[in-house]
Amino acid sequence: MAVSPAPVLRVERLSYTYAGGAEALRDITFSVAPGERVALLGPNGAGKSTLLWCLVGVLRGSGTVAVNGAVLAPGSEAEVRRRLGLGFAEPEDQLFMPTVERDIAFGPRAAGAPPEEAARRAAEAARTVGLAGPLLSRAPHELSSGERRRAALAAILALDPDVLALDEPTNSLDAPGRAALAETLSRLPCAQLLATHDLEFVGRLCARALVLVGGRLVADEPLASLLGDEARLVAYGLAAPREG
Amino acid sequence: MVDERASDDPLARARELSLAGLLGALGLLLPIGFHALGWGGRIFLPMHLPILVAGFVVGPALAASLGLIVPLLSAALTGMPPLAPPIALLMSVELAAKAAVASLLYRRLGLSLWVALPAALLANWIVLALAAVAAAGFFAIRTPPLRYLAAVMALTWPGVLLQVVAAPAAVAVIERRVPRLAARGRRGGP
Amino acid sequence: MRGPELYVRRDSPLHRLDARAKLIALAGVVGGAALCPVRPPWPALALGGLLAAGFALGRVLAATVARRLLPLALVIGGPLALSRLGGEATRLAGETFALKSGLIAAAFLLLTATTRAEDLLDAAAGVPLLAGPAGLAGFILRGVHLLGGEVVRANRAWRLRAPRAGARVRLGALCAASVSLLGRAAARSERVGAAMALRGFQGRLPPPPGRPLARRELGIGLLVVFASLAVAGVGRWL
């Protein structure tokens, strides 16, 4: 009998309440297997971004978050953050160094890698996401929005995370950009958690879907069965009702 | 989307650095804007406002560094304030003193902004007078510090008024958008 | 958003010279200007000639130099003119002030016209005491680009909505936009800070990748130092 591999991301009873008292997440429990790609779906305000911020400890929720065995707790945030790379909805917020190359190399350098090793990892990450060489010496603000998104992704991949969590990865990407991103993500060996409204995008990549509505996990099932059930898509706020 | 209860040191330091960077950027941009509009950069002291605000929202060391760096960076990028005569250097020390005192009193000791603000302005003037005397000595010019200070205050009172009016409002806006800044003094914070 | 930057985009021997060598040379020229006597005038003329040669080597046009130094005319010329009304000591002080200020201003202009701000910051980051401030300055520059874009967009938005707005409406829009910009900048800074921490920031920015300063370039910097100090020293003490 085959033994399921230990999950690379384990979330148990995660809850989070904003300072003003509004409940953002309640009792979220799920896990992600190594190499698995999972879509995190939900309407605006469902708590997808809040969940991602909780996974990396920027927001402190109650419950358990463990990434490849490292449990999120005071003092262990750095290790969890190295293993779970988070891509923001606005890639501009993640590019803060004078050049793209130095931005991508920032993570390895901060982890103590010597400059040559950091440069090698940065170059490899840039190749992975299809960032051309001349772009690496440019300042981030000189890049197009698609290039910035790729640079931000490369900056995360340079740390070789076990889990890649992306918040609205197709924001401001045109159709060729979305196709290129899907192709890049499909080649990555790490587990992925993709928070998005773009059902077509995740339909190409993910086999499984988690659905958040009002801060609660209302579905954890194969994505194909969800996409085939229009009534539920409308009920969950993932699709607009047909007119007439 | 931040949690003021998260007390991770590297996270707090990174956020502080980032906020200081943006306020420093305002310190570069505001003078350009004022000069472009012809609104009397030398009178309204546009560079002083963001640095003073920074003094109320970041820690003393970072605030002082910002005060030191911004005039020099502006001088290197735009030529204003000039490095020679050493106006940029004078501005560096006065802004560093102003921001550091504001931060020490408001953030570290948790005093009221209406105590920290006048104290910061006073520190600005004292340090400016002393620095001006030292700089004048470099050029073998004897300058009575009080007379110099009186001349500066007479010229720049609109800028001081702008700081008194706008800085508290700016601090309120920032504290509303960044809830973690509410913790200061004995309650913690940067 | 483009401000009135001093950097003049060119390909010249001076532009290609390492920023660290230029900083060393600048230190020498500033030292020479500090030592330089007003009388006799030849040391000052020699230093001025050195700077003029630098501008020529950097292919910075005389018109550009004049335009950039013009704003200092009042700041330097004013005290000089006033000093003429005083006694001998006052006139000498005024001339000293004008001479030293002019030379040092020209030296800084030469450096900033031929060196990008980012390269200057990287050079400063190589000095242990200056690494922290240089890193902060880099953040400030990045912030200029972030905020500059927002300012341009806000300006465009209200011009489209109120192209013929009167002064009161403009002032109100400026205040509202400033408040909004400040709040958005603060919120954005939190996300950038989180991004840094998520990528392993522990309190210190990694130093810039550096190559050792080539001997030839170091030699050029030191030669300028020697020449400047020698000219000023000889003029002062002989």
pLDDT in tens, C27-64: 999 999 989 988 888 999 999 999 999 999 999 998 88
A79 located within any domain: yes
Can you give the three-state secondary structure of A81-108, one letter per residue? HHHEEEECCCHHHHCCCCCHHHHHHHHH
pLDDT at position B187 over 90: no
Which residues, in sequence order, are bridge partners of residue A212?
Answer: A217
Instruction: Note the pLDDT of residue B5.
Output: 36
- Is B172 or C211 the better-scoring residue by pLDDT? B172
Alpha helix locations (H) across B79-144? Answer: 87-103, 113-138
CATH assignment at residue A185? 3.40.50.300
Instruction: Note the pLDDT of residue A51.
Output: 97
A74 located within any domain: yes
Q: What percent of chain C has pLDDT over 70?
A: 96
- Arithmetic mean of pLDDT, A24-47: 96
Q: What's the rounded Cα separation, in Å, for the pair C67 and C55?
A: 14
pLDDT in tens, A129-183: 999 889 998 989 889 989 999 999 999 999 999 999 999 999 989 999 999 999 9
A37 located within any domain: yes
Pairing label, strands A37-41, A9-17: unpaired
Residues of B in contact with A50 (CB under 8 A): 1
Q: What's the rounded Cα separation, in Å, for the pair C159 and B48?
A: 28
Instruction: Note the pLDDT of residue C219.
Output: 95
pLDDT at position B188 over 80: no
- Residues spanned by the domain of A176: 9-96+159-235
A141 located within any domain: no
- Is A240 or A57 the better-scoring residue by pLDDT? A57
Instruction: Note the pLDDT of residue C107.
Output: 93
Instruction: Note the pLDDT of residue B140.
Output: 60
Instruction: Note the pLDDT of residue C45.
Output: 93
From the list A58, A78, A119, the residue facing C209 with the nearest CB is A119
Instruction: Note the pLDDT of residue B59.
Output: 93
Instruction: Note the pLDDT of residue B38.
Output: 63
From the list B10, B68, B178, the residue facing C203 with the nearest CB is B10
Q: What's the domain count of chain A?
A: 1
Nearest CA in chain C to A112: C206
- Arithmetic mean of pLDDT, B99-125: 95
Instruction: Note the pLDDT of residue A244.
Output: 55
- Arithmetic mean of pLDDT, B162-174: 90
A130 located within any domain: no
- Arithmetic mean of pLDDT, A199-228: 94
Band (pLDDT 50/70/90 cuts) for residue B7 is very low
∠ CA C103-C69-C83, nearest 5°, is: 65
Band (pLDDT 50/70/90 cuts) for residue C180 is confident
**Could B4 and A57 be called an inter-chain contact, meaning their C-beta atoms sit closer than 8 Å?**
no
Band (pLDDT 50/70/90 cuts) for residue C202 is confident
pLDDT at position A198 over 80: yes
A150 located within any domain: no
Alpha helix locations (H) across chain C? Answer: 13-16, 19-35, 42-57, 62-69, 72-83, 88-114, 117-125, 131-161, 167-198, 215-237
Which residues, in sequence order, are bridge partners of residue A222?
Answer: A208
Instruction: Note the pLDDT of residue A88.
Output: 96
Other Cβ atoms within 10 Å of C39 Cβ, number: 11
Instruction: Note the pLDDT of residue C92.
Output: 86
Q: What's the rounded Cα separation, in Å, for the pair A65 and A86?
A: 14
- Arithmetic mean of pLDDT, B24-42: 77
Query: Interface pTM (ipTM) of the complex?
Result: 0.91
A53 CB near a chain B CB, below 8 Å? yes
pLDDT at position B26 over 80: yes
C111, C152: one domain: no
Mean confidence (pLDDT) of chain A: 93
- Is A235 or C172 the better-scoring residue by pLDDT? A235
Band (pLDDT 50/70/90 cuts) for residue B131 is confident
A50 CB near a chain B CB, below 8 Å? yes
Band (pLDDT 50/70/90 cuts) for residue A128 is very high
Q: How far is CA B147 from the centre of its chain?
A: 23
A77 located within any domain: yes
pTM: 0.85
**Could A96 and C195 be called an inter-chain contact, meaning their C-beta atoms sit closer than 8 Å?**
yes
From the list B6, B18, B179, the residue facing A60 with the nearest CB is B6
pLDDT at position C151 over 80: no
- Arithmetic mean of pLDDT, C111-137: 86
CA distances in angstroms from C135 to B93, C120, C130, C131, listed in the order given: 19, 11, 9, 6
**Could A59 and B3 be called an inter-chain contact, meaning their C-beta atoms sit closer than 8 Å?**
yes
Angle between helices C117-125 and B60-78 (to 10 degrees): 140
Residues of C in contact with B33 (CB under 8 A): 151
- Arithmetic mean of pLDDT, B38-60: 85
CA distances in angstroms from B85 to A58, A150, B67, C97, C231, listed in the order given: 47, 46, 19, 8, 22
C110, C29: one domain: yes
- Is C181 or A76 the better-scoring residue by pLDDT? A76
- Is A81 or B1 the better-scoring residue by pLDDT? A81
Band (pLDDT 50/70/90 cuts) for residue B84 is confident
From the list C3, C140, C179, the residue facing B32 with the nearest CB is C3
pLDDT in tens, C72-119: 887 788 888 888 888 888 888 888 888 888 999 999 999 999 998 888
**Could A57 and B6 be called an inter-chain contact, meaning their C-beta atoms sit closer than 8 Å?**
yes
Domain B9-178 fold is Arp2/3 complex 21 kDa subunit ARPC3 (1.10.1760)
C98, C57: one domain: yes
Q: What percent of chain A has pLDDT over 90?
A: 81
- Residues spanned by the domain of C82: 13-115+214-237
Query: Residue A15 belongs to what H/E stretch?
Result: strand A9-17
- Rounded to 5 degrees, φ, ψ at C19 are -60, -30
Band (pLDDT 50/70/90 cuts) for residue A242 is confident
Q: What's the domain count of chain C?
A: 2
pLDDT at position B40 over 70: no
A198 located within any domain: yes
- Arithmetic mean of pLDDT, B16-41: 82
pLDDT at position C168 over 80: no
Band (pLDDT 50/70/90 cuts) for residue B41 is low
**Could B29 and C179 be called an inter-chain contact, meaning their C-beta atoms sit closer than 8 Å?**
no
Instruction: Note the pLDDT of residue B2.
Output: 38
